[in-house]
């Protein structure tokens, strides 16, 4: 096989491209990963590392159960620490309406044997010592959710691709995808042409542009989300705290370092690729965090940044083959791509090599109606 020819070309070296490339390389395929900048340049390098199974969509729950299984095995698989820590997720309820929503989502989650419970405000305080219980009615708590380090996981997968005879090309911008008789044939980059019968679009919020290269219109749009990290401190509590009020936020104490890292979802949302940090966020976010846990007021913020969620109309990813033979899409993760990455990488490797997946991914199909929205977005 020539140096510019592979079995599979994966476009994009974020978590999705890295995980997908690895599971394909493990199946003895020669994998080239082409990245226009460097690994984790996109959303993956801007994410806060949260991993949860608390969804309402059956497929998302099943995907996340598999991902959690994989995350817990990656230290062994990579021979290095990915900082996986099952510290749980605690979704807080400050209204009867929110509480009732969680009570009904828990019923769905129990059908999938997730150990989620609705716990009282006192129990919340046992788990998150010093949480502000004023107006708090309790929370939905899943102790097997957790966190990991997005850089360690992505670089871990890329390293294993290289060890399995694959290559990772950085600063290689794909500008054209060539087809022959409706079959993927090669991709053109600023560094030359690379050939493969299979091309996977794992370009996150850029997936719409890359799909256009083969004439496909894919409904994935970027949306700006901001984040910050505080100085480190001794361990205060384990779970990701999620406050779904319109002026709420979500944050977690990083297991490896002790920093607190978090975001909020802006209302209204901010469509587009703007990755500038804002003064509004740096003013609001510390206020929202310390409203939930007052002693966080003592911590200083050390950095803020912004990145893109890759939104589809129903809040679920697109993971599918396409009408162009050999051209696949795994993108549009809607802000959950880090946690979905390991399982979706595995399932995409099955789709490419056998034409089907061990977990049916119909609800993530390219031609679905996009009518069933995820309630726990
Ligand atoms: C602030 C913030 C917090 C988040 N927190 C979480 C969280 O806690 N948990 C979670 O699961 N998710 C979280 N996310 C979402 C998560 O980061 C993304 O869903 C995930 O990283 C998407 O991965 P990806 O590989 O699809 O895309 P990306 O990481 O964006 O990777 C796509 C890659 O494709 C490359 N590329 C694009 N076009 C081309 C081209 N033409 N040629 C070559 N390369 C190209 C890009 O440079 C990029 O590196 C968060 C996101 C943000 C912004």
Annotated domain spans of the chain:
8-49+150-220+314-364, 86-144+221-310
- Among 208, 308, 335, residue to substitute to test ligand 1 (most atoms within 8 Å of Cβ): 335
Q: Using the atom order of ligand 1, give the atom closest to the CA of residue 12.
A: 34
Q: Using the atom order of ligand 1, give the atom closest to the CA of residue 334.
A: 19
- Pull the structure tokens for residue 135: 């107006």
**Angstrom distance (rounded) from CA 284 to CA 211:** 37
Atom 18 of ligand 1, nearest CA residue: 337
Using DSSP, state whether 211 is helix, strand or coil: helix
Using DSSP, state whether 323 is helix, strand or coil: coil
**Angstrom distance (rounded) from CA 87 to CA 65:** 15
Residue 327 CA to ligand 1 center (angstroms) comes to 20
Q: Using the atom order of ligand 1, give the atom closest to the CA of residue 308.
A: 53
For CA atoms 102, 108, 111, 112, give the dihedral sign. Answer: negative
Q: Using the atom order of ligand 1, give the atom closest to the CA of residue 224.
A: 53
Residue 122 CA to ligand 1 center (angstroms) comes to 37
> Do 320 and 345 touch, CB atoms closer than 8 A?
no
Q: Confirm whether pTM is higher than 0.85.
A: yes
Residue 89 CA to ligand 1 center (angstroms) comes to 22
Residue 123 CA to ligand 1 center (angstroms) comes to 35
Cβ neighbours around 62 below 10 Å, total: 17
**Angstrom distance (rounded) from CA 198 to CA 184:** 6
Using DSSP, state whether 205 is helix, strand or coil: helix
Residue 294 CA to ligand 1 center (angstroms) comes to 32
Q: Using the atom order of ligand 1, give the atom closest to the CA of residue 340.
A: 11
Residue 350 CA to ligand 1 center (angstroms) comes to 22
- Among 42, 49, 263, 332, residue to substitute to test ligand 1 (most atoms within 8 Å of Cβ): 42
Using DSSP, state whether 262 is helix, strand or coil: strand
| CA 228 from centre of chain | 17
Q: Tell me, what DSSP letter sits at residue 300? A: P
Ligand 1 is surrounded, with C-beta below 6 A, by: 11-17, 34-37, 41-44, 46-50, 173-174, 202-206, 210, 225, 227, 263, 307-310, 331, 333, 335-339
**Angstrom distance (rounded) from CA 265 to CA 368:** 26
Using DSSP, state whether 256 is helix, strand or coil: coil
Q: Using the atom order of ligand 1, give the atom closest to the CA of residue 226.
A: 1
Q: Using the atom order of ligand 1, give the atom closest to the CA of residue 306.
A: 1
Residue 43 CA to ligand 1 center (angstroms) comes to 3
Atom 8 of ligand 1, nearest CA residue: 50
Burial class (CB in 10 A: 0-12, 13-18, 19+), 339: buried
Residue 333 CA to ligand 1 center (angstroms) comes to 8
Q: Which CATH number applies to 86-144+221-310: 3.40.50.720, 3.40.50.300, 3.30.230.10, 3.30.9.10?
A: 3.30.9.10
Atom 51 of ligand 1, nearest CA residue: 47
Per-residue pLDDT tens, the chain, 377 aa: give them. 668 999 999 999 999 999 999 999 999 999 999 999 999 999 999 999 999 999 999 999 999 999 999 999 999 999 999 999 999 999 999 999 999 999 999 999 999 999 999 999 999 999 999 999 999 999 999 999 999 999 999 999 999 999 999 999 999 999 999 999 999 999 999 999 999 999 999 999 999 999 999 999 999 999 999 999 999 999 999 999 999 999 999 999 999 899 999 999 999 999 999 999 999 999 999 999 999 999 999 999 999 999 999 999 999 999 999 999 999 999 999 999 999 999 999 999 999 999 999 999 999 999 999 987 777 76
> Do 293 and 131 touch, CB atoms closer than 8 A?
yes
Task: Name the architecture of domain 8-49+150-220+314-364.
Answer: 3-Layer(bba) Sandwich (3.50)
Which residues, at least 6 apart from 147, have a Cβ–Cβ distance to it below 8 Å?
49, 50, 51, 83, 84, 85, 87, 240, 252, 254, 255
């Amino acid at each position: 096989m020539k140096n510019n020819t592979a079995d599979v070309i994966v476009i994009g070296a974020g978590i999705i491209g890295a995980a997908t490339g690895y599971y394909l390389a493990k199946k003895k395929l020669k994998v080239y990963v082409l990245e226009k900048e460097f690994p984790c340049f996109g959303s993956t390098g801007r994410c806060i590392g949260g991993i949860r199974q608390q969804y309402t969509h059956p497929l998302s729950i099943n995907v996340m159960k598999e991902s959690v299984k994989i995350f817990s095995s990656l230290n062994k698989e990579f021979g290095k620490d990915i900082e996986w820590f099952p510290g749980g997720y605690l979704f807080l309820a400050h209204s009867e309406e929110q509480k009732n929503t969680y009570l009904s989502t828990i019923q769905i989650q129990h059908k999938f044997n997730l150990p989620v419970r609705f716990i009282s405000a006192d129990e919340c305080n046992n788990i998150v010592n010093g949480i502000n219980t004023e107006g708090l009615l309790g929370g939905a708590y899943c102790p097997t959710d957790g966190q990991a380090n997005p850089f360690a996981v992505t670089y871990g997968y890329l390293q294993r691709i290289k060890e399995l005879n694959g290559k990772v090309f950085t600063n290689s911008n794909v500008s054209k995808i060539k087809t022959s008789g409706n079959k993927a044939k090669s991709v053109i980059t600023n560094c030359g042409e690379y050939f493969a019968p299979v091309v996977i679009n794992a370009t996150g919020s850029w997936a719409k542009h890359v799909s256009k290269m083969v004439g496909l219109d894919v409904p994935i749009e970027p949306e700006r989300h901001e984040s910050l990290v505080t100085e480190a401190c001794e361990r205060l509590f384990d779970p990701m705290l999620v406050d779904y009020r319109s002026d709420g936020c979500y944050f977690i104490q990083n297991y490896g370092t002790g920093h607190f890292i978090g975001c909020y979802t802006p209302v209204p949302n901010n469509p587009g690729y703007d990755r500038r940090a804002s003064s509004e966020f740096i003013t609001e976010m510390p206020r929202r965090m310390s409203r939930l846990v007052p002693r966080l007021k003592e911590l200083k913020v050390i950095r803020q940044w912004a990145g893109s969620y890759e939104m589809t109309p129903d809040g679920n990813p697109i993971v599918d083959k396409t009408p162009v033979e050999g051209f696949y899409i795994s993108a549009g993760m809607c802000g959950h791509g880090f946690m979905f990455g390991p399982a979706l990488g595995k399932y995409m490797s099955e789709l490419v090599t056998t034409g089907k997946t061990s977990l049916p991914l119909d609800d993530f199909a390219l031609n679905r109606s996009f009518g069933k929205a995820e309630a726990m977005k």
